[in-house]
Structure 1
């Protein structure tokens, strides 16, 4: 058991894990190792058994832990040079790369033309510049697992030209274990350490020291390392020249206690636990030259941690590129304030947020993703590309005009006393009005019917008959019949509805629509000049005659609503003289 300790990295059957506990488990005989798997779905629990917590896991997954016997079969770790030769010098050592001269495609054998030449080139380890040794069980040099030909001192002689190195998903335990390798690679610029779980991130070498290989790094990937903000800061202290950083999938919820290097120009923080832009406001102080910011697949919903607090902070003005795709935005609040928080923003990705799958207009009508695209452009005047698409001048004009009309519509539907509150949700209102003119706002009166309601599609028809004195069941002008008829009803149906309400066969009815307007019968001549635009009072003075305009509703398929503009109609009912009409037909 002396060879095991908390933080030790192990692998069994290709699955990597970290020792979190060593000792007994109640109800089980013998000694056990409590481990946290790199692949959390491989585990059975969170470090507890029968209500007793034996260790804590760093992963947020509910079951990343297991108990294993120390006597389990453990995979043998490799040194850096062993892994390098396994991957790139198999032809020299008689490995698989030279033994396979043919491949099979759909059951047919094909010759691998040129693969031997590639194998020979790879065998020339001194010429390697880009090296990928991920998931090869690479561990630290501890003096017991090396030979003279495989020692740290042989790294510089074996592969002196490496510029890009991937050591992800291996068995390193401390930053110094990694530094000892990097110190022997004088040309190293890019380092990938993804999914290494370090128990110690301190570094004994003084930053900027010419003897430190980490000090030469300009680009690093530290994804899936389960780092806290403080641990990430300690890791980066050994890389004083770094410009590009990826620290995704580290469960980071805030950068308040994480001082990042001032040299950074690009920071990718995808798949963490940020819930607002305020969680990363510390970037303003520590990264004054930042240009690219990746926040994809977080939980960002608002600009600030509290929905009731206005955003008073700014991110570095040098930022021009931001990725906010796959977050948790459900309202326009963050986008409305984005121009002020990131004043230099030119390129934005914001797709796949809940906001764009449930868009509604001011009157509740569903909007499309194209509408969301336009409304986003209109809210960010300095934007040049959105979701990788270049914004043309025509798109901007159309988007801003559309957005302005939507604000006008929202104002029309809101009470006048809430105008200020409504406009507070649209910071661009004033600027857009100056550019395109203020839209006309027509507010609905208290008794006005909602144009989208069923009531707006009905006509209130006042039906009366001058023959009511002779026919008892016909309504007179003083006591008319009120009938609501849909505008879409054909005149055929109108005759049927009114006939049924009056108890008269429809074919016996003649329906006359009284429009309430007047037409001139004869044109008057005033001083020899025909006056076409005189009003009714003038007409009386010059002897003109006016007649009430009427329209007979002849049975047909034409809808009733096409005869008038308002919501009310006055219909006069006359009874046909069927005998007289019959005689005229045969005369």
Structure 2
């Protein structure tokens, strides 16, 4: 610590205020002397603890405390700025080059906003205001925002110097048309009486609070402020245990809890959100979800409106979790990439088929539409894949309870397609390269002089690569090639191979089958 530095006037209520110093954000925790140096110092807690030096102590004296042992520093008042009011920031930003700023596309919660249809570009016509990263510290003079920006529907105040929810409310209560608000990377103290501010957010539909160090109890305490909220985005906070939202957030349709270290045993607490349609639980560390109120193959009363669920990048390894998700009555969109859900053959395409077969209502898997042929193929393969287990468990009579628990969808598939013949059953093979290679004989009906060619190919090889191989052998453009196959199990029947993105296994091409190659 040095003794130099020109002292500037420090606000009377400086403790708790947010400041900017060398491009970094911090919260003032102390104002006063720090002996043996002379002059005034600010003790600050940095948002980025790597920027700090200590825990708020100096020479054995504790001047303030920090949540991180190296999150604090002492700085001279001349080194920091306490920011400017909201309207001053708007003028600074939008009057620099208003045409350039106002013509930008604005993205709020994945929605693109622009100036299409707005003939007169002025503050009065402004529908979205983006002040992300600017040093906004409060509302400014009472009533001035309402006079100047009465058409604003979308507002981004991410990474500002706002320090209290009361200050946010003082801004938003003047924006009577406000529907979307982004407050990423802010540190806001909780309001003493949240319900008092409900009018300030009475039309708010979307609220984004990523990286704000919030816990779920803090969210629930603030929730009375947002009576009409439909979309709540809370990525990368400090949310762990979830509690039941009693009397709050009941209008919520979309909830994003991605990148929070959730306690999975508390997940069902939010099933009380009866209108929730979309739930993002990606990268939350969960491994299990279960609905004990419903038996295998039945529907749960929990999450009755949930249509979309994202479980990407978690620790899910057990297939019974997918069976549990089949109990959700409205689920049509599901993402589970980045989990260790493996089929016995180790083929990711087989794992995809199993998910599709287990979730009969699913329309989208990992952001890809499930077409009719893919679903039919997945369900038929599932029947074959576990047919031998089904027979051993009791088959057409009454399969035992263990089989029903492991394959609650199986009887529905039998009812839909009929029981499998023993000749069609697929015996599970351990994952090894030799078990994945199948012998295929390529025939050329349009070229009688060309001899059949035998190849051993991976069952997981997609048709596009097969055509690439044939192109190199035949010197015929891959785009001109048309494939079909015959199998000894269905004598006289020729099956089209009509999707280049699918694998040989998807079309049920097996060892010893013949692939017919034609070209125009």
Q: Choose which of 270, 292, 295 in structure 1 pairs with 2:258.
A: 270
Residue matched to 1:294: 280
1:434 aligned to which of 412, 415, 419: 415
Tell me what 1:12 maps to: 21
Please report how far the alpha carbon of residue 242 of structure 1 lies from its aligned counterpart in structure 2 after TM superposition: 1.5
Between the aligned partners of 2:420 and 2:61, the Cα distance in structure 1 is: 67
Q: TM-score, normalised by structure 1?
A: 0.58
Distance in structure 2 (CA, Å) of the matches to 1:5 and 1:243: 35
Residues 293-341 of structure 1 deviation map (CA, whole Å, 9 limit, x = unaligned) = 12222112101599xx99997532111111111222122232110011x
**What's 1:65 paired with?**
71
Q: Secondary structure at the match of 1:10?
A: strand
1:175 and 2:150 equivalent? no
For 1:217 and 1:188, how far apart are their aligned partners in 2?
A: 6
Q: 1:168–1:381: structure 2 CA closer, same or farther, 3 Å change rule?
A: same
Structure-1 residue corresponding to 2:87: 81
The reply on whether 1:353 has 2:351 as its aligned counterpart is no
1:39 Cα offset (Å): 3.5
User: Would you say the 8 A contact 2:262–2:286 is kept in 1?
Assistant: yes
Contact 1:249 1:271 in 2 (8 A): yes
**Is the CA contact 2:190–2:222 (under 8 Å) kept in the aligned structure 1?**
no
Distance 1:74 1:435, change over 3 A: same
Task: Measure, in 1, the Cα distance between the counterparts of 2:385 and 2:69.
Answer: 49
Alignment of structure 1 residues 316-395 onto 2, 5 Å: 316-340=303-327, 342-355=328-341, 359-361=342-344, 365-367=345-347, 369-395=348-374
Structure 1: distance between partners of 2:60 and 2:388: 60
Question: How far does residue 220 in structure 1 lie from its aligned partner after superposition?
Answer: 1.4
Query: 2:226 maps to which residue?
Result: 239
Describe the shift of the 1:20–1:337 C-alpha distance in structure 2 as closer, same or farther (beyond 3 A). Answer: farther
Q: Structure 2 CA distance, aligned partners of 1:436 and 1:52?
A: 78
1:465-505 CA distances to partner (integer Å, 9 max, x unpaired)? xxxxxxxxxxxxxxxxxxxxxxxxxxxxxxxxxxxxxxxxx
Alpha-carbon distance in 1 for matches of 2:54, 2:319: 40
Q: Secondary structure at the match of 1:281?
A: helix
Do the aligned partners of 1:83 and 1:138 also contact (CA within 8 Å) in 2?
yes
Conserved? CA contact 2:346–2:431, under 8 Å: no
2:430 is the counterpart of 1:424:
no
What SS is found at the alignment partner of 2:202? helix
Secondary structure of the residue aligned to 1:67 is strand
Partner of 1:502: none
Contact 1:327 / 1:353 at 8 angstroms: preserved in 2? yes
Alignment check: 8 A CA contact 2:194 2:221 kept: no
Corresponding residue for 2:135? 137
CA contact (8 A) 1:138 1:171 kept: yes
CA positional deviation for 1:72 = 5.9
What is the match of residue 124 of structure 2? 126
Residues in 2 aligned to 1:397 and 1:427: alpha-carbon distance in whole angstroms: 18
- Please say which structure displays the higher CA radius of gyration: 1
Deviation at 1:399, TM superposition (A): 0.8
Q: Write out aligned runs for 1:8-157 (5 A).
A: 8-20=17-29, 35-43=44-52, 55-57=65-67, 65-71=71-77, 73-91=79-97, 124-141=122-139, 151-157=141-147
Match of 1:569 in 2: none
Q: Give CA-to-partner distance per residue, 1:229-255, whole Å, 9 cap, x none.
A: 222122221121122221222221232
**2:239 match:** 252
Paired residues of 1:176 and 1:202 also in contact (CA < 8 A): no
Would you say how many aligned residue pairs link Structure 1 and Structure 2? 394
The match for 1:471 is: none
Aligned partner of 1:193 among 175, 183, 186: 183
For the 8 Å contact 1:173–1:200, the answer to whether it is kept is no
Q: Distance in 1 between matches of 2:377 and 2:59?
A: 64
In the alignment, the residues of structure 1 paired with residue 84 and residue 166 of structure 2 have an alpha-carbon distance, to the nearest angstrom, of 17
Q: Quick one: distance in 2 between partners of 1:181 and 1:3? A: 22
Q: CA RMSD in A?
A: 4.2
After superposition, the Cα gap between the structure-2 partners of 1:25 and 1:386, relative to the gap in structure 1 and judged at 3 Å, is farther
**Structure 1 residue 56, shift from structure 2 partner:** 4.4
Q: Which residue of structure 1 lines up, in the alignment, with residue 455 of structure 2?
A: none
Show the counterpart of 1:490: none
What's the offset of the Cα at 1:65? 1.3
Check conservation: 1:303, 1:333, Cα contact below 8 A. no
Q: Distance in 2 between matches of 1:70 and 1:451?
A: 67
Structure 1 residue runs of 5 or longer lacking an equivalent are: 98-119, 142-149, 443-449, 454-587
User: What stretches of structure 2 of length at least 5 have no aligned partner?
Assistant: 1-9, 102-118, 424-428, 433-520
**Partners in 1 of 2:316 and 2:237 — Cα distance?**
21
Q: Which residue number corresponds to residue 303 of structure 1?
A: 289
Matched, 1:400 2:400: no
Query: Contact conserved, 2:55 with 2:70, CA < 8 A, in 1?
Result: yes
